[in-house]
Amino acid sequence: MTGKTHVIVGAAAGLVAASALAPGLASPAGLACAAAGGALGGMLPDLDVRNTARPLQERLARGGCAALLVAGLAMEAAAGWPLVRRAAEAGLEVVAAGAIALLALCCAARLSTHRGFSHSLLALAGFAAATWLVCPPLAPCVAAGMASHLALDALGRRPVRLAWPARRGVCLGLCKTDGVVEACCLVAGLAVAVYVVLM
């Protein structure tokens, strides 16, 4: 799957997670942050990608994810920083521990082989827990976005090592990059995101 699909489906997964598990994110600012968290989660597993066959597409996908993050932060600021205030309730030590854990996980993901640690259920649990320490309402959104990435990659033709460090991976072989199935996933992600925002 390409980065654009991971960003869009991740954002949709983040919105669904927010509507189901984080009612505090029902405001426009909260939904923007949920979409940004899901998109970020959708991109996190590919921190291990060093060279890509489609560098321009990947840069655009990362730019789209960054734009969602900036929009989420801008709307959060306009709303008076409700998520930041909620995160601050846990205390600076907890937030700092979560931030350090996130940084360590990002480094581990970057150094892992492609579709290794960064594409594992262990990494998913780690990123979700670290995000929960930093900002509890966003943890389900990031986790849902990351889970969407793992599910989409498992549809492809190369194994995803969900049970890392075990060597065996999951590979359903149902689609190829930029194929019809990926296009359907992208359209479905857009439709779900629009539905959640408008309902």
Over residues 61-116, the pLDDT tens digits come to: 788 888 888 888 888 888 888 888 877 787 888 889 999 999 999 999 888 888 88
Q: What is the pLDDT of residue 127?
A: 95
Higher-pLDDT residue of 144, 174: 144
Alpha helices by DSSP H, listed for 112-173, are 121-134, 139-154
Q: How distant is the alpha carbon of residue 113 from its chain centre?
A: 19
pTM for this model (two decimals): 0.87
Asked if residues 33 and 76 have their Cβ atoms less than 8 Å apart, the reply is yes
Q: Report the interhelical angle of 3-21 vs 55-78 (nearest 10°).
A: 30
What is the average pLDDT across 44-69? 79
The dihedrals phi and psi of 99, each to the nearest 5 degrees, come to: -65, -40
Q: Report the interhelical angle of 3-21 vs 180-198 (nearest 10°).
A: 30
- Percentage of the chain beyond pLDDT 70 is 97
Q: What is the pLDDT of residue 150?
A: 94
- Percentage of the chain beyond pLDDT 90 is 33
Asked if residues 16 and 74 have their Cβ atoms less than 8 Å apart, the reply is no
